[in-house]
């Protein structure tokens, strides 16, 4: 590595708390300055024993767990940082189905899904999803990550000269999908339907294809998308819609078909995106759409066509998850998840600045990014693991503690977690004034 200016290194040491992710993305020089400075930054956090990231778990994503932190420290925590909303990642029947699939098909798919990587187990998963969502003439296209679904689907659907209009709070995978497409990109203010309409008016004409991208539950804000109004406006102006139901597929709606079901627009949405990493308890994802769109995605979503198919074990496990989620166990866990979220929110309501609504993604705002490292360290050491987020995942100086409630948490665990939040809010000065 080339040696860089000592004063820059000193700056990182003196001001580590003010550094954010984006600052290590910029460098105009030929030297690997950003890589060297980032390495210094990680060293500082390790020296100070506040590197809270990538703490290894020794078992499944259960509601309490031990974290092996960097520097050899271990802490026991209530786990509100996994989006295993229905606890399916460790359900014995799901594990058994994954084991059966790996025994039958082997470890990897060993080919693109379009060449020889499609197995019977993939077809079974596709059929199970089509049956679960239940609309005629629809199909699914499977991907190896939720991230890749947005990346692949948006960049296949939108070409240079077309437009993507996105909510300003959209997940990185939507933004990157839009960038990759080469189309024009515009953001409307978060959940601001008047602003969306203003942009649609400006953008839509007979020659332009416009795709509006929104989320069922916003991952960084924890509130619901106004899908009913988005769909109405998109139809009025002749635009298409993509709804990312990463945090709501299998959970929201009476039957778990997501916020689209809850708001009565499942049939009207052009592309419904789901990720298997959340309530499904696995990894990968899919886009659910009209068969013709799905067929096109299978070939023209490049990160699908030019990449190995979903592994058989996960595919077998996901097929079992859908069976469980469609039956009484799914209904029972969905109900419990919702009452757990309501209970947890009731413990924090009025005391800290909380995300709106009743969703299981619970956000507590604490403001300045400079608090993030010490705060996360304090939370873990106090026995709570959360999914803390800051710029650029959310706007600057709007850092947040993000917590994922699951159906499997007990009231005692949620009470303990809320106590840690309130005690930390007093210490780090983010109690509601
Ligand atoms: C809204 C949203 N979309 C897509 C993704 C990417 O999903 P995955 O982690 O399965 O790749 C996430 C991940 O957290 C997300 O929150």
* Architecture of the domain whose range is 91-326: 3-Layer(aba) Sandwich (3.40)
What angle separates helix 172-181 from helix 146-157, to the nearest 10 degrees? 30
Domain positions in the chain: 6-47, 56-79+330-427, 91-326
Global confidence as pTM:
0.96
* Burial readout 313-329 (b: 16 or more C-beta within 10 A, e: otherwise): bbbbbbbbbbbbbbeeb
Determine how many CB atoms are found less than 10 A away from the CB of residue 403: 28
* Residue keyed to tokens 């990014």: 369
Strand partners, 365: 400
pLDDT score for 1:
52
pLDDT score for 358:
96
Atom number, ligand 1, closest to the C-alpha of residue 275: 10
Q: Ligand 1, atom 8: nearest CA belongs to which residue?
A: 146
Fold adopted by 56-79+330-427: 3.90.1150
Give the whole-angstrom CA distance, residue 221 versus residue 185.
21
Distance 236 CA to ligand 1 centre (A): 29
Return the best residue to mutate from 81, 171, 393 for the ligand 1 pocket (most ligand atoms within 8 A of CB).
Answer: 171
Q: Ligand 1, atom 15: nearest CA belongs to which residue?
A: 246
Distance 147 CA to ligand 1 centre (A): 5
Nearest to 427 by CA among 383, 382, 385: 382
Distance 111 CA to ligand 1 centre (A): 24
Distance 246 CA to ligand 1 centre (A): 6
Distance 10 CA to ligand 1 centre (A): 36
Distance 145 CA to ligand 1 centre (A): 8
Residues comprising the chain, all counted? 433
Q: Ligand 1, atom 9: nearest CA belongs to which residue?
A: 146
**Contact status, residue 429 vs residue 352, Cβ threshold 8 Å:** no
- The ligand 1 site (C-beta within 6 Å) comprises 145-147, 150, 171, 173, 215, 219, 244, 246, 275, 277, 285
* Residue keyed to tokens 């989620």: 325
**Contact status, residue 12 vs residue 40, Cβ threshold 8 Å:** yes
For residue 124, what are the contacts with CB-CB under 8 A and spacing of at least 6?
A: 315, 319
H helical segments located in 284-370: 291-300, 302-305, 312-326, 328-348
**What phi and psi, each to the nearest 5 degrees, are found at residue 73?**
-85, 150
Distance 174 CA to ligand 1 centre (A): 9
Low-confidence ranges of the chain (pLDDT < 70): 1-3
CA distances from 296 to 214, 292, 300 (A): 21, 6, 6
For residue 37, what are the contacts with CB-CB under 8 A and spacing of at least 6?
A: 4, 8, 9, 12, 24
Strand partners, 413: none
Give the whole-angstrom CA distance, residue 147 versus residue 171.
9
Q: Quote the radius of gyration of the chain (alpha carbons, Å).
A: 22
């Amino acid at each position: 590595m080339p040696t860089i200016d000592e004063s820059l290194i000193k700056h990182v040491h003196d001001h580590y708390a003010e550094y954010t992710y984006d600052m290590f993305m910029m460098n105009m020089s030929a030297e690997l300055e950003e890589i060297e400075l980032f390495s210094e930054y990680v060293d500082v956090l390790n020296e100070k024993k506040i590197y809270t990231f990538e703490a290894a778990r020794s078992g499944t994503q259960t509601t309490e767990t031990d974290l092996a932190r960097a520097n050899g420290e271990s802490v026991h925590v209530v786990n509100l940082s996994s989006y295993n909303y229905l606890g399916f990642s460790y359900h014995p029947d799901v594990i058994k189905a994954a084991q059966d699939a790996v025994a039958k098909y082997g470890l990897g798919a060993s080919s693109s899904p379009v060449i020889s990587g499609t197995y019977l187990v993939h077809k079974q998963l596709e059929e199970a999803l089509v049956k679960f969502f239940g609309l005629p003439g629809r199909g699914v296209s499977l991907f190896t990550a939720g991230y890749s679904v947005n990346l692949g689907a948006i960049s296949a659907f939108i070409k240079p000269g077309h437009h993507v209009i996105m909510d300003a709070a959209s997940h990185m995978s939507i933004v990157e999908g839009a960038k990759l497409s080469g189309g024009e990109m515009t953001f409307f203010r978060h959940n601001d339907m008047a602003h969306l309409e203003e942009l649609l008016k400006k953008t839509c004409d007979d020659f332009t294809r416009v795709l509006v991208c929104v989320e069922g539950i916003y991952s960084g804000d924890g509130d619901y998308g106004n899908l009913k109004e988005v769909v109405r406006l998109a139809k009025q102006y002749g635009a298409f819609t993509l709804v990312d139901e990463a945090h709501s597929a299998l959970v929201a709606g009476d039957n778990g078909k997501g916020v689209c079901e809850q708001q009565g627009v499942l049939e009207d949405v052009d592309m419904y995106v789901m990720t298997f990493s959340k309530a499904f308890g696995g990894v990968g994802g899919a886009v659910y759409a009209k068969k013709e769109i799905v067929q096109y995605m299978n070939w023209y979503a490049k990160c699908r066509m030019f990449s190995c198919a979903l592994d058989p074990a996960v595919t077998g496990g996901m097929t079992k998850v859908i069976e469980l989620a469609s039956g009484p166990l799914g209904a029972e866990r969905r109900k419990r998840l919702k009452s757990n979220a309501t209970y947890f929110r009731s413990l924090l309501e009025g005391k800290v600045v909380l995300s709106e609504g009743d969703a299981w993604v619970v956000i507590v705002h604490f403001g300045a990014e400079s608090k993030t490292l010490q705060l996360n360290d304090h939370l873990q050491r106090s026995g709570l693991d959360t999914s803390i987020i800051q710029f650029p995942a959310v706007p600057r100086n709007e850092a947040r503690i993000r917590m994922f409630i699951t159906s499997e948490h007990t009231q005692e665990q949620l009470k303990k977690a809320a106590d840690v939040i309130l005690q930390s809010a007093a210490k780090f000065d983010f109690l509601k004034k």
